[in-house]
Amino acid sequence: MKIKSIILAAGKGTRMKSDTPKVLHKIMDKTLLGYILDSVKNIASESFVIVGHCAEEVEKYVKDNYSSAKTVLQTPQLGTGHAVSMVCPYLEDFDGLVIILNGDIPLIREETLKKFVEYHNGLNSDLTIMSAIFDDPEKLGRIIREKDNSLKCIVEAKDATPEQLAVKEINAGIYCLNWPKLKTAFSELKNDNAQGEYYLTDIIGWAKSKALKVNAYVLENNEEIYGINSRKHLAQAAKMMNNRKMDELMDNGVTIVDPSCTWISQDTEIGADTIIYPSTYLEGKNKIGKNCKIGPFAHFRGGVEIADNVKIGNFVEVKKSRIDSNTNAGHLSYIGDSELGSHVNIGAGTITANFNPITNVKSKTVLKDNVKIGSNAVLVAPVTIEEGANVAAGAVITKDIKAWALAITRAPLKVIENWIKH
Q: With CA atoms as reference, report the closest residue to 112 among 85, 138, 91, 130.
A: 130
User: At 322, phi and psi to the nearest 5?
Assistant: -115, 130
d(CA 349, CA 345): 12
The bridge status of strand 151-155 relative to strand 127-133 is: unpaired
Catalytic residue numbers, as ranges: 331
Q: With CA atoms as reference, report the closest residue to 340 among 328, 356, 329, 324.
A: 324
Q: With CA atoms as reference, report the closest residue to 150 among 215, 233, 59, 83.
A: 215
Chain centroid to CA 177 = 26
HSE-CB for 270 with a 13 A CA cutoff: 28
Is 201 within 8 Å of 141 (Cβ atoms)? yes
Cα 185 to Cα 18, 71, 188, 190, distances in angstroms: 35, 22, 5, 10
Is 344 within 8 Å of 370 (Cβ atoms)? yes
d(CA 273, CA 324): 17
d(CA 283, CA 296): 15
**DSSP H or E segment with residue 27:** strand 26-27
Cα 156 to Cα 84, 98, 378, distances in angstroms: 21, 25, 64
- The Cα diameter of the chain in Å comes to 101
d(CA 405, CA 403): 6
d(CA 401, CA 286): 29
Helix axes 32-40, 110-122, angle to 10 degrees: 50
3-state secondary structure of 346: strand
Task: Report DSSP letters for 191-227, one per residue.
Answer: --STT----TTHHHHHHHHTT--EEEEEPS-GGGGPP
